[in-house]
A = this chain, B = another copy of it.
């Protein structure tokens, strides 16, 4: 029985979005390192990482974005159609680093992403940086499993329905696209359409269209539900609507949602995609959001768990088991009274 399989990076072969499957490793030939900050711990981690790769996987090429502070001995990688082929993305930093990695892959399929925290927990961070050797080994042995995290593809149209900017390329987001009045004192008016049908006119601070991954980010703060990342769905969450009866809506991934600034809107709307400010939309301008063809294959924590550990407590091996942990630890989901039982009166 052959244990090694090839890492799939070709979108045509991709499984249905959000399925959970093993990565087919074997020929990981190009690795892209992504980091935002160049703090001492990050620099040190990259050094150790590079040394480890040189020693153990000497034939692998290591790339990095083109920046002034690029680490030594790595090749420059430029995104786009003609980009060098990457078989594995390594991120070092917080949740925002993965969002940034996602933004580098606007065209075509995304290689599997292995995300390391610098110590502090994050929602999208399955691995501690000190475990990188173990995690890499698991990938090279083809044992890693991935969760395909849905992305949204965003198209901007001007008043006359013509494509705006970006050379016709769609934008891809992993968390959400958010429209917000920003520093305008006035509410904006946005018409929301679902599959071309008028849904509602929102007078509010703004609207969010989120992925299940993004449901624990801005959408949550705005009052949205928590949606499991293995579900394919779009979440529409209003931000401070001037209405008592606005509720978050959850749509199937097959839906397309269009948000158009009302002709009589008093304010324009700033657009943020995964927290990056991009456009400002004026009256009549719009964005259309759909499930992207190119989800992000995120390598799971269970990939490096011991079999005993992974199978304990009824969790199927390879199953996305990090989510329940994150809901409880990071969001302190439903925390109140479990902890209360432990609180005892200290004497004065």
Residues of A within 8 A of B (CB): 18, 117, 119-121, 125, 127-128, 130-131, 134, 182-183, 185-186, 194-205, 212, 215, 218, 220-228, 230-231, 233, 235, 238-252, 254-255, 270, 272, 275-277, 301, 304-305, 313-316, 319, 321, 324, 327-341, 343-348
Contact = CB atoms under 8 A, between A and B. Distances in A.
Contacts of A235: 225
The 8 closest A-B pairs by CB, nearest first: A196-B314, A244-B245, A182-B183, A221-B240, A243-B336, A128-B345, A245-B245, A231-B252
Contacts of A328: 199-200
B224 A225 contact: yes
Nearest to A221: B240
Contact of A203 (B131, B255, B337): B337
A185 B277 contact: yes
Given A128-B348, A244-B247, A304-B348, 5 more contacts: A128-B345, A183-B183, A200-B328, A241-B334, A330-B343
Nearest to A343: B121
Contacts of A200: 328, 333-334
Contacts of A203: 337
Contacts of A198: 313, 324
Contacts of A340: 120-121, 330
Contacts of A125: 345
Contacts of A223: 223
A221 B250 contact: no
Contact of A196 (B231, B315, B348): B315
30 contacts: A18-B252, A120-B345, A121-B344, A121-B345, A128-B348, A134-B348, A182-B182, A195-B319, A196-B314, A196-B315, A197-B324, A199-B324, A200-B334, A202-B334, A212-B250, A215-B250, A218-B240, A220-B244, A223-B223, A225-B247, A226-B250, A230-B254, A231-B252, A233-B233, A243-B334, A244-B246, A245-B245, A301-B348, A304-B348, A305-B348
